[in-house]
């Protein structure tokens, strides 16, 4: 389904700013999305299970449990694409949001139309991810990456990865043996929306290493090329289709 009109999509908005909720909800409604709104993080967890949204937009500074903890809780149960918002534009907050599991981080005040565009782009990439990668797959006896089924396995056991983590892994695997610069990875995974924000790349590489490497401190799949980027190195016994 095309996300150009977003018909049938469910958006969960978690924010205590009533005016922002109303305006953002109106924008998404105009493109056919169903919007579920809540100012409360704990209530949002219930809606996550009952409504099964296609996208979550979460304010980092909601009352009660802060948005970073809510994001971590969501990631324990769901890989739904998630955009975090904050009125404070600081690198440490952005990195904290990414570490908590957010797929994108935007600073307030934000034009709702910009938020809509980011939401469309994120959902479009999530939908088209399998088509973009064709029939690529990787298997070496320990690690298996199945693009068609959108899954990663270690020794036959499925590993839970977020949509952005999977896109990054698929992108690196699709370019196995080639050094990919930080800028190339940003463009390949986020469509160039975060030019120069190399912290995004480093955070998600760290996530992936913790999930797929036997020793994340001595990675053998995703290796660093200092000051340049990263390279995915398939093992000698691997099968790549």
Find out if CATH 3.40.50.2300 is the number for domain 10-129: yes
Closest to 145 measured CA to CA, from 232, 30, 64 = 232
Poorest-pLDDT segment among 90-99, 129-138, 148-157: 129-138
Which residue ranges make up each domain of the chain? 10-129, 134-240
- pLDDT, mean of residues 81-88: 88
Q: How much is the pTM? A: 0.61
The pLDDT value recorded for residue 147 is 80
Question: Given this model, what pLDDT does residue 190 score?
Answer: 75
- Predicted confidence (pLDDT) per residue in 124-135, tens digit: 776 665 444 444
Position 159 confidence tier, pLDDT thresholds 50, 70, 90: very high
Task: Tell me the average pLDDT across 99-104.
Answer: 86
In this prediction, residue 217 carries a pLDDT of 94
Q: Which CATH class is domain 134-240?
A: mainly alpha
* pLDDT at residue 220 tops 90: yes
């Amino acid at each position: 389904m095309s996300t150009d009109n977003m018909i049938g999509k469910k958006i969960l908005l978690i924010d205590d700013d009533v005016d922002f909720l109303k305006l953002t909800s109106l924008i998404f409604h105009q493109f056919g999305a169903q919007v579920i709104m809540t100012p409360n993080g704990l209530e949002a967890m219930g809606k996550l299970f009952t409504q099964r949204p296609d996208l979550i937009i979460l304010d980092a500074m909601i009352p009660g449990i802060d948005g970073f903890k809510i994001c971590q809780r969501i990631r324990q149960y769901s890989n739904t694409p998630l955009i975090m918002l904050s009125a404070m534009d600081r690198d440490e907050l952005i990195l904290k949001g990414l570490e908590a599991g957010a797929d994108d981080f935007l600073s307030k005040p934000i034009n709702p139309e910009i938020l809509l565009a980011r939401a469309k782009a994120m959902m479009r990439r999530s939908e088209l991810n399998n088509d973009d990668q064709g029939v690529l797959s990787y298997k070496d006896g320990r690690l298996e990456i199945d693009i068609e089924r959108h899954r990663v396995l270690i020794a036959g056991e499925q590993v839970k990865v977020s949509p952005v983590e999977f896109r990054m892994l698929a992108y690196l695997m699709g370019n196995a043996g080639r050094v990919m610069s930080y800028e190339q990875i940003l463009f390949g995974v986020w469509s160039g929306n975060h030019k120069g924000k190399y912290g995004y790349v480093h955070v998600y590489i760290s996530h992936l290493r913790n999930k797929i490497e036997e020793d994340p401190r001595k990675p053998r799949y995703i290796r660093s090329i200092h000051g340049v980027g990263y390279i995915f190195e398939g093992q000698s016994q691997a099968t790549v289709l």
